[in-house]
Amino acid sequence: QVQLVESGGGLVQPGGSLRLSCAASGNFFSWYIMGWYRQAPGKQRELVAIITTDDTTNYADSVKGRFTISTDNAKNTVYLQMNDLKPDDTAVYYCYFRRLPTVLPYWGQGTQVTVSS
C-alpha cells in the first residue's frame, strides 16, 4: 500500500506560477514512476509529467518548457513547478505512483488548479 498526499493547488492568474507537491509513504519497490495527471472539465485524463527512479522525465507536449518535475533527495516527494500558467492548464491534478514493472497505479486525492484572470 502506498499513500499519496498532494498539495499546492490554487487560483492563479495567467502567466503566474504554482508548485505542486506529492509526498509518498508506504512500501516501495526499487523502481517506480511518480508524477501527475490532470483532468479538465469535459476532457479526458491526460499525463502531465512523470519521473522515474533514475530521474528520467517525460512531459506532455503542452507543458514542455513551462513545467518542471523533480524529486527530493529521498525520492519520496515529487514536485511540479508550473510556470507561465495558461487557462487551458485549469484542471484537477492527480498525483500518480506506479511500481515497475507493475501496471496498477496509486492516485492522490487531487488538487484543483485554476488559471483565470
d(CA 54, CA 13): 34
Between the CA of residue 50 and those of 6, 13, 42, 97, 116, what are the distances in Å?
15, 25, 23, 9, 25
The residues, any chain, with a CB within 8 Å of residue 57's CB and separated by 6 or more, are 49, 50, 51, 69
Which residues does residue 18 pair with via DSSP β-bridges, in sequence order? 82
User: Minimal CA–CA distance to 8: which of 86, 107, 112?
Assistant: 112
- Residues 64-102 as b/e (b if ≥16 CB within 10 A, e otherwise) read eeebbbebeeebebbbbebeebeeebbbbbbbbbbbeee
pLDDT per residue over 52-105, tens digit each? 999 999 999 999 999 999 999 787 899 999 999 999 999 999 999 999 888 999
Percent of the chain with pLDDT over 90: 85
| Mean pLDDT, residues 19-23 | 97
Amino acid at 33: I
